[in-house]
Amino acid sequence: MRRAHPAVRTLPLVPALVVLLLFLAGPIAYCVWIAFTDLQLTGQAHSSFTGLANFRRAFRDDAFLNAVWLTLVFTVLSSLVGQNTLGLALAALMKRASKPVRTLTGGVVITAWVLPEVVAGFLLYAFFRREGTLNAVLDWLGLPRQNWLFTLPILAVSFANVWRGTAFSMLVYSAALDEIPAEITEAAEVDGAGGWRRLWHITLPMIRRSIGTNLMLNTLQTLSVFGLIWVMTRGGPGGRSQTLPLFMYEQAFQNSMIGYGTAVALLLLLVGSLFSVVYLRLLRTEV
């Protein structure tokens, strides 16, 4: 064993490498190639290299620009603002709350996270529908009702993503808050620092690395949401909740333009890789 040749030692890596190369690296390379072709779904015999035509086309396409804008709104609203802030608030409150309440809240929030994506989509579809629960609650409170999925579809799907994804931030921040030594918070309290000042000057700086990691992972997860929006609105009405993954799907399959759809996919992949690299940098300073 101790004398085994280095080549023999790396043998166990082979199965994983084969699967990863064939089914992950391969498709990514293929993605890069067909993004520059005019491949169509209809199975024409030859697709030809068209250079940057797909990309030039994208930036002149109003539907694409609309999708970019909606993806931005969706990501900022649901990931940066929603999941992140709500997750931190939940984690902070859980540290102070009594145990039964903590367990109950944790259980409910985590259940929303563990549910299959499609089921989460149904639940929130029912919640936001004109005859759904949200409007019932608004009636009860005497507030005006809305047809949420029609008037503000992007807001509805953003809320849905917050509902589904907050548990992750909550878990990350709970772990981070547990690592802050109690003496530090107590010392600040004795010195008369109020809740908000303690949060701003002590808690947030101490968990800044967790905030960075969490934001990156949330954003990456949010960028690839498809099923949730598909079930709730199909990207509609009139493309008003069509984020990039749904736009890419529509171009590739409804409009049969695989090449164009893949070009959009490549752009999404590039943005994702950028976030991924930032995430790695964050981890590296931590390790």
Partner 1 sequence: MPLRHAYRRRPSRRRATRRLAADLALLAMAAAFALPLAWVLLSAVDPGAGLRVRIPDGLTLDNFRAVLTPDITYTPLLNSLLLCGGGTALTVGCAALAAYPLSRFPSRLNRPFLLTILFATSLPITAIMVPVYALFVRVNLIDTLQGTVFFFAASQLPFAIWLMKNFMDGVPKELEEAAWTDGASAAQSLVRIVLPLMGPGLAVVTVFSFVMMWGNFFVPFMLLLSPDRMPASVSVNDFFGNRGMVAYGQLAAFSVLYSTPVILLYVLVARRLGGGFALGGAVKG
DSSP 25-80: IHHHHHHHHHTTB---TT--S---B-TTHHHHHHHH-HHHHHHHHHHHHHIIIIII
DSSP state of 145: P
Contacts to partner 1 from residues 196-225, by CB under 8 A: 210, 213, 216-217, 220, 223-225
Using CB under 8 A, which of 36, 74, 163, 247 touches partner 1?
A: 163
Q: Could you tell me which residues come within 8 angstroms of residue 23 by beta carbon, excluding any fewer than 6 positions away?
A: none
Using CB under 8 A, which of 67, 156, 157, 265 touches partner 1?
A: 265
DSSP H helix total and E strand total for the chain: 18, 0
To the nearest whole angstrom, how small is the minimum distance from the Cβ of residue 172 to partner 1? 5
Task: Between 89 and 193, name the residue whose CB sits nearer to partner 1.
Answer: 89
- Torsion of Cα atoms, 243 then 244 then 250 then 251, to 10°: 150
Which of the ranges 11-19, 50-58, 63-71, 198-206 carries the binding residues for partner 1, by CB under 8 A? Answer: 11-19
Site string for partner 1, 126-145 (x = CB under 8 A): xx-x-xxx-xxx--------
Task: Between 240 and 272, name the residue whose CB sits nearer to partner 1.
Answer: 272
Angle at 281 between CA 275 and CA 285, to 5 degrees: 145
Task: Between 154 and 162, name the residue whose CB sits nearer to partner 1.
Answer: 162
| Nearest residue to 82 (alpha-carbon basis) of 187, 154, 181 | 154
Contacts to partner 1 from residues 18-47, by CB under 8 A: 19-20, 22-24, 26-28, 30-31, 34, 39
Environment class of residue 102 by beta-carbon count within 10 Å: exposed (0-12), middle (13-18) or buried (19+)? middle
12 binds partner 1 (CB under 8 A): yes
Which of the ranges 63-71, 74-82, 198-206, 276-284 carries the binding residues for partner 1, by CB under 8 A? Answer: 276-284
Contacts to partner 1 from residues 88-107, by CB under 8 A: 89-90, 93-94, 96-98, 101-102, 104-105
Using CB under 8 A, which of 172, 177, 211, 215 touches partner 1?
A: 172
Residues in the interface with partner 1 (CB under 8 A) total 99
